[in-house]
Structure 1
């Protein structure tokens, strides 16, 4: 048993502590299938889980992450880049380097290991070290916000050390919140980024994973309530790991939603312009139901969803870049 424990700890350390980069030459970036020119009075926000995992949890990611940065840079040269990009799983340096490669002037980083605090939860009992629990945090939150517009202030919140389940416990997950000054808009727009506890991928019983999920949703909701005033426009994106699990859906819908009073962008796909989403990209995003953008207008109703698009879709190698398709939601702002 002692040898098994040592082997498991060594394996986990290898998976999540070594920021090694295996060479993987980036392919020539094809032009995006869908890319719509900017419109005055608009704010475009992309949410993208880039699978920036350390080796050997994921193999050869450096080249793919470099290509993501190159493709976002191409969008910039074409004048159709998203104004704001929310990254998840940007754990390794090559993932964080996407900001520079893509030409974003303003960058905010999410919770770090040092931000994690202890707070008792029912999940502490029965923690399984072999599933990554009770071993401490090995990587940061993997959350990064990139912006063309000035980030005037930020706040971040790491979930308590035991508010997690399975292998997700090895990351310092939480919420990153930034206030961004959008040209022509009276006050800053609050934009948040998160990556919540996985379900089956956590490696533990689904009920345990769902318990952690519900606690994280409640903590995120409370964090938003405490820091974003009701009269402030807010967009809350990320990898919510929601899916179609009724327990997870109920957790997010409780108390008026994870952002009380907000609507979710992809749920409105049937009522807005989605010509920028190929049919199979749209099906993939809606059926997986993990990547989301919740938005709520302030008291002046100055934030409204216009359309959705997928710049790097299945048709031009998007599934080779990451196991998620990044999508862009464009909002009218006034």
Structure 2
């Protein structure tokens, strides 16, 4: 939410409350797409920060988000749609509507404002030094912006919001956290756990980097604990989202071995020759991640909506897909 740094908290909060709807029920596709659902022993998962921020924090987003949905729908018509998509910053209705426009039958919304923990028994110095003018200490005003879309049934779900002791700056205005969907993949006796997250930003949070990094490190540890408690250690797990790691050494160290035995798809596999510039940009930025563990075998990467320029015309992130073979 970089634009928040240019606005007062009161103005930003008012705009957000007026422009963002509460989480809506899972959207049904406009028409069934059963024939396009694959059952071939593979699973493809996309992570995509769609920049679904309201006006005036971002401009022209309704049109751009609609185009993202159209592009994903085109992939479906070609039989190339990802089986699962992890969205971040899907705050406004037009962002959540990507599910309907792209034809996904199963949709899971991430945590909302009501899911945020309200009480801190023993506030530490970090909480006591919260800055109201930078969005801290007022509580989240909007949902997490996390949405999981799936062609396969979602048979179970779990959500967690980072408490105020684990957020810094303007990020505290959103109910950032983690959402897990257990997905019934054809041919598998047990569902695959797929988690989506969006971690605290760095400079864009509006507070000193040192403070933002404390929140980030706490979020990573909380997420590790949450995943250990929710997902069997021997089960297949995919964890994706906008991790906001970048080139920060402290953040790189904090996310090392994020899930035991896990692999970072962007650093492990490669994609088509004509997508190398897009993939290089994703790796260099080091924010959008897909980690996996278990019996999933990573085969390749793809940037299906990229244009080979290292940038996306409709978002400030490039969405990419990891293709897995189910052992």
Q: Return the TM-score normalized by structure 1.
A: 0.87
The worse-fitting range, judged by mean Cα deviation, of 317-326 and 237-246 is: 317-326
Number of the residue aligned with 1:99: 99
What does residue 180 of structure 2 align with?
Answer: 177
**1 CA distance for matches of 2:262 and 2:78?**
32
Structure 2 partner of 1:18: 18
Provide the residue aligned with 1:306 in structure 2.
299
RMSD of aligned residue pairs (Cα, Å): 2.0
8 Å Cα contact 2:111-2:159 kept in structure 1: yes
C-alpha spacing 1:20/1:146, structure 2 compared with 1 (3 Å): closer
The equivalent position to 1:229 in structure 2, one of 227, 232, 253, is 232
Count of aligned pairs:
303
Summarize the alignment of residues 288-307 of structure 1 with structure 2, pairs less than 5 Å apart.
288-297=285-294, 302-307=295-300
Q: Kindly indicate whether the alpha-carbon contact (under 8 Å) linking 1:190 and 1:233 is maintained by their aligned counterparts in 2.
A: yes
1:275 and 2:272 aligned: yes
Partner secondary structure for residue 253 of structure 2:
helix
2:243 aligned to 240, 243, 246, which one? 240
Q: Structure 2-normalised TM-score?
A: 0.88
Distance 1:276 1:326, change over 3 A: farther
* Alpha-carbon distance change, 261 to 46 in structure 1, aligned in 2, over 3 angstroms: same
Whether 1:324 and 2:317 are equivalent positions in the alignment is yes
Q: Tell me, what secondary structure is at the counterpart of 2:170? A: helix
Contact 2:48 / 2:86 at 8 angstroms: preserved in 1?
yes
Secondary structure at the aligned position of 1:49 is classed as: strand
Identify which of 271, 281, 284 aligns with 2:281. Answer: 284
Unaligned runs of 5+ in 1: 1-6, 22-36
Match of 2:68? 68
Q: Report the counterpart of residue 27 of structure 1 in structure 2.
A: none
Alpha carbons 2:20, 2:91 under 8 Å: kept: no
CA distance in 2, matches of 1:168, 1:87: 17
Alignment of 1:90-239 (within 5 A): 90-117=90-117, 118-119=119-120, 120-239=123-242
Q: CA deviation at 1:317?
A: 9.8
User: Quick check: 2:9–2:134 contact (8 Å CA) kept in 1?
Assistant: no
